[in-house]
C-alpha cells in the first residue's frame, strides 16, 4: 500500500481574477494573489432523491447535481488586488474566478460567485474577513491537480 504525501498549507497560493465579460476563463496573468489569508475550506454535497415503488422493497434513488462551496478567510489587507476582486464580485453580484494551488504549482481554478462577505473588527490586533463562495462552473485542473 502506497503512503500518501501530506500537503503543507504554507506552500498554498490562493488567487482571484475578475470576470472579463466572456465565458472563457481568464488568462494566467490576470490572477492576483489574495493576500493575508489563513483559512480555506471546501464543501461538496450531492442531494439524493428517493422514490418509493409499489411491490418493491427498495425504491429508486437518483443523485442530484453536485453543489460546491468554498470559504476563504484571513485578515483585511487594504489595497490588496485579490481581496479587492472578491469584494467587487460580491458588491456587483458578478462571477469571478478563484485559483487554489495547494503546493504553489498544482491545484485548480474555478468560476465562483461570492455569496457572503463577513468582517470581524476588534479594537486591537488584526481585523478579520471571510468570503463564502459558491461554484458557478466546473473546476479546471491546474498543473497536475488535485481538484479536492
Percentage of the chain with pLDDT > 90?
56
Q: Work out whether the CA dihedral 138, 90, 86, 89 comes out positive or negative.
A: positive
pLDDT in tens, 14-60: 999 998 766 667 776 789 999 999 999 988 888 888 898 899 888 89
Is-above-0.95 flag for pTM? no
Higher-pLDDT residue of 24 and 140 is 140
Residues in Cβ contact with 75 at an 8 Å cutoff, skipping those fewer than 6 apart: 36, 38, 126, 127, 128, 129
Asked whether residue 3 carries a pLDDT value surpassing 90, the answer given is no
pLDDT in tens, 122-137: 999 999 999 999 999 8
Q: Which three cell numbers stand for residue 74?
A: 484571513
Amino acid at each position: 500500500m502506497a503512503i500518501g504525501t501530506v500537503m503543507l498549507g504554507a506552500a498554498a497560493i490562493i488567487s482571484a481574477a475578475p470576470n472579463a465579460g466572456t465565458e472563457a476563463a481568464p488568462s494566467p496573468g490576470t490572477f492576483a494573489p489574495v493576500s493575508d489569508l489563513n483559512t480555506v475550506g471546501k464543501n461538496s454535497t450531492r442531494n439524493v432523491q428517493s422514490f418509493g415503488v409499489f411491490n418493491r422493497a427498495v425504491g429508486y434513488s437518483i443523485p442530484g447535481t453536485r453543489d460546491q462551496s468554498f470559504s476563504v478567510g484571513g485578515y483585511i489587507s487594504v489595497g490588496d488586488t485579490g481581496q479587492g476582486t472578491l469584494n467587487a464580485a460580491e458588491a456587483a453580484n458578478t462571477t469571478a474566478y478563484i485559483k487554489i494551488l495547494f503546493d504553489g504549482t498544482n491545484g485548480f481554478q474555478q468560476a465562483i460567485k461570492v455569496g457572503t462577505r463577513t468582517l470581524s473588527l476588534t479594537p486591537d490586533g488584526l481585523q478579520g474577513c471571510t468570503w463564502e463562495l459558491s461554484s458557478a462552473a466546473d473546476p479546471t485542473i491546474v498543473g497536475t491537480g488535485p481538484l479536492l
